[in-house]
Chains A and B, each alone.
Chain A
Amino acid sequence: MFHAKKEGRFSAGRFVALLLSVVLVASTGLGLAACGGSTPAPTSGTASSGSGSSGAATEPAAAVELQIFAANSLERALPEVQALYTAENPNVSFADSQFKGSGDLVTELEGGAPADILITASSATMDTAVENGNIDEATRSNMFQNDLIIVKQAGSSVTISSLSDVNGSAISKVAIGDADAVPAGSYANQSLFTIGLYSAESGKGGEYLEGFADKVVIQSSVGNVAKTVATGDAQIGFVYTSDLYRYDDIEQAFVVPADTHKNIVYPGAVVASSAHASEADRFLEFCLTNPDALRIWAQYGFEVAAS
């Protein structure tokens, strides 16, 4: 036994050397990557033609990094608009934007996660953030409108011709967002309330009708709802129109009548603790007015709010 272990020290030396070299290689690689990433942006103060009413680009532009917390449904469209903004304002870059259920984002913000901009998928979640004192209320405005739809897996034979078909015999699993964290879930519940399948009008804190409750699959974000339907784990799910355009393998089955749920609006606002409040506000304005940004929203199915 001891003979064997004597070898130990030699191996130890080799092992440590190996480990060290790996660390060295890794850190060099990372160092290079970091250098590439944080190249200070040239500060050309050229006011782009598209900035529209954002105006005031006269002061010398200092490098700014904005952190955005946005509703999960914006995951594909918003980064494109961010890229557009960076192309026109090279001094502004974006940290990895967080796309989660609006409720989760509000909780994280309250928990101290640093952010500059919050865009939620319902007025109620934004109201909570305002009550928590995390939002600069003066900057709040409605950014987008969306529709609630029922989706099915691409090529599925399921047909939904009215809301009550949701509880039809052909349906065994319905994916719905968790109403506490996912606004799409509470909108869906509001609609289900109108046909007696959910017990609370507000879409939150209620119960699903017995018999229907067994069919409901609760998901933590509207993206997960779409994904559950795309994989066929649920036959149908409640998502936004805009979700169609960011997922493959799902198809629109039914547009939920707009009068069965609250108006779906996405409020956006600057976070109270933001160190770059004016830049953040300028970006929000850009989102709503820049004609190239409007193209992106239109393609992803986000209707820019009238006011």
Chain B
Amino acid sequence: MRNRLKLTARTILVLIVMVSTTLLMPFSAQAAEEAEELTLDASGSAAALEGVSFAVDGFARNNKGTARAYAGEDIGYRYPLAGRGAFVVVALEDELLIYLPEETNASFGLDFSQDTAAQTQLLTLLFALDEANSNGGITLEQLDLPAVFTHSDTVAHRGCLIRFGVEVEPGYYYVTVTAEADALPAPDTARQASFVETGLLVPADTLTIQTAPEGLDALTDFLTNMDYRPFWVSLRTSLTAMIFVFVLGLAAARFSLKVSEHVKDVLDAVFTIPMVLPPTVIGFLLLVVFGNSTDFGRWLIDHGIELVFSWPAAVIAATVVAFPLLYRTARGAFEAQDANMLDAARTLGWGEGRIFFKLMLPLAWPSIAAGTVLAFARAMGEFGATLFVAGNYAGVTQTMPIAIYFQWMGGRSDVATFWVFVVILISFVVILFINLYARHTQKFRLGTTARKERSTGEEQEEEDVERESLERSVRDTGEERSGP
């Protein structure tokens, strides 16, 4: 059996690696395509062309600017620049205005407004960087506008003055758009450019470009940058919840045996209902009980019990939804126990507590263990009620299921996929564990003698013997009764 177990573990591992490499394939393929001549930095802010003396660093695409005054002074609509001597690409309605300061021209010994070869090289770099930074916005390539190169600091365009390299505050440079002699209202100056891009021209040999990692490196990169807190939150929440579930579930199961049939039916419905109700209903009720919106909730808050949107709320939510699973399996196992045997124990002078702990619990154990594991898995998978009362606070109440939802919604499908596989893996292991455990107990069911040899400890032995004789006597009486 151990061999088979090892095999399963290896299969799972292989499966994970396979799935994750498939998932990350698109990234590496994309990177390989662009790696021919042009190298693009992983951050999308730097790029270089093979055999070209200049490269671009600190590239940024400003999709919007601001008309906000600086220190009370209106300086027009402005876009931040990459720094001193930065180049600027202004996507105007009818042209692509590209500004390179004279000092940059001089330092590379190039004249971008004349040298068409340098212009083409720069545009190649810009188009690639723009593509990497456009994120679904209109790209320079799609705009398909004639490029106009300039090195003058002020350019007039359709009633506007575009000023480059304006140092608004020490060390921070902007391109500003103002109306020429108040010819245009402010909103129109803002709409002159659809976006403005900026960056620094640097000598190619001083720039080190870190291309996006590929294949296994990408996977390692992804896994090292991963925020694993949802796993710990899930584990912490469900383990804490399990302590409550275990104690309350067993107590409820034991208690339900004592009461009369009719009370038991009602009680059972109450204990089981969280399993049937949608988690949102549970969440709603918990919010009503503990929230700020009801008198009772406010009374609790006034007395220092502030539970909503905190970790204890997540524990409560998990406890409530997981409780019925343990309760029902435990009750089922208790009910299946032979009442004669319990009576026999009583005739031997055993107290109720001793009967429960030394007889009922050990006998029902396989069922309870399975119920515990199932309840744990349910607590781990809790989503609706938790989201309702505990919210989505990373590192506090953000469990794996909640992380999946919010990461997906936030556009980080890769992270969501990771957690999906983790949850599937955990669930798989849980079910596998239950099956193996059941098989394990089954085996002893068939070979009790083998086990007896291994049992150690005098007290243990003594109790075993005692319980065994109890069982035997019950069985004998049973046989006597059923006899002719």
Contacts and interface: CB of A to CB of B under 8 A. Distances in A.
Contacts, number: 190
A294 B80 contact: yes
A5 B136 contact: no
B291 A303 contact: no
A42 interface: no
A34 to B, nearest CB: 9
A26 B236 contact: yes
B369 A291 contact: no
A298 B366 contact: no
B308 A111 contact: yes
A224 B365 contact: no
A215 interface: no
Contact of A113 (B80, B135, B309, B396): B309
Interface string A175-219: 000000000000000000000000000000000000000000000
Nearest to A248: B411
Contacts of B62: 295, 298-299
B396 A96 contact: yes
Given A6-B464, A8-B364, A248-B411, A33 B229 contact: yes
A114 B60 CA distance: 36
Given A227-B411, A230-B411, A301-B64, A251 B136 contact: yes
Interface in B429-482: 437, 440-442, 444-445, 448, 451, 455, 460, 464, 467-468, 471, 474-475
B79 interface: yes
A7 interface: yes
A165 B291 CA distance: 45
Interface in B155-171: 168-171
A299 B471 contact: no
B232 A33 contact: yes
B455 A298 contact: no
B369 A30 contact: no
A160 interface: no
Contacts of A113: 308-309, 391
Given A3-B445, A5-B363, A246-B411, A112 B136 contact: no
B395 A37 contact: yes
A150 B4 CA distance: 55
Contacts of B92: none
B248 interface: no
Q: Which of B138, B287, B393: most chain A CB closer than 10 A? A: B393
B24 interface: no
Nearest to B394: A96
Interface string B288-332: 000111000100010000101100000000000000000000000
Nearest to A34: B395
A297 B79 CA distance: 10
A232 B396 CA distance: 33
Contacts of B460: 9
Interface residues of B, number: 76
Contact-residue bracket for chain A: 35 or more
Q: Which of A2, A52, A251: most chain B CB closer than 10 A? A: A2
Nearest to A288: B68
A291 B169 CA distance: 9
Interface in B262-295: 287, 291-293
B136 A221 contact: no
A297 B171 CA distance: 19
Interface string A249-292: 11110000000000000000000000000000000000010010
A2 B359 CA distance: 11
A300 B301 CA distance: 40
Contacts of A304: 66, 68
A252 B137 contact: yes
A294 B66 contact: yes
B161 to A, nearest CB: 18
A128 interface: no
Nearest to B463: A9
Nearest to A247: B411
Contacts of A10: 455
Contacts of B287: 111
A48 interface: no
Q: Which of B138, B365, B408, B442: most chain A CB closer than 10 A? A: B365
Nearest to A291: B172
Which 3 residue pairs across A and B have the least CB separation, nearest first? Answer: A112-B292, A4-B445, A8-B365
30 contacts: A2-B363, A4-B444, A4-B448, A5-B362, A5-B366, A6-B464, A6-B468, A6-B471, A7-B448, A9-B365, A12-B362, A12-B365, A26-B236, A110-B293, A111-B287, A112-B291, A113-B308, A223-B410, A226-B411, A241-B63, A250-B136, A291-B80, A291-B172, A298-B60, A298-B63, A298-B64, A299-B62, A301-B137, A303-B67, A306-B69
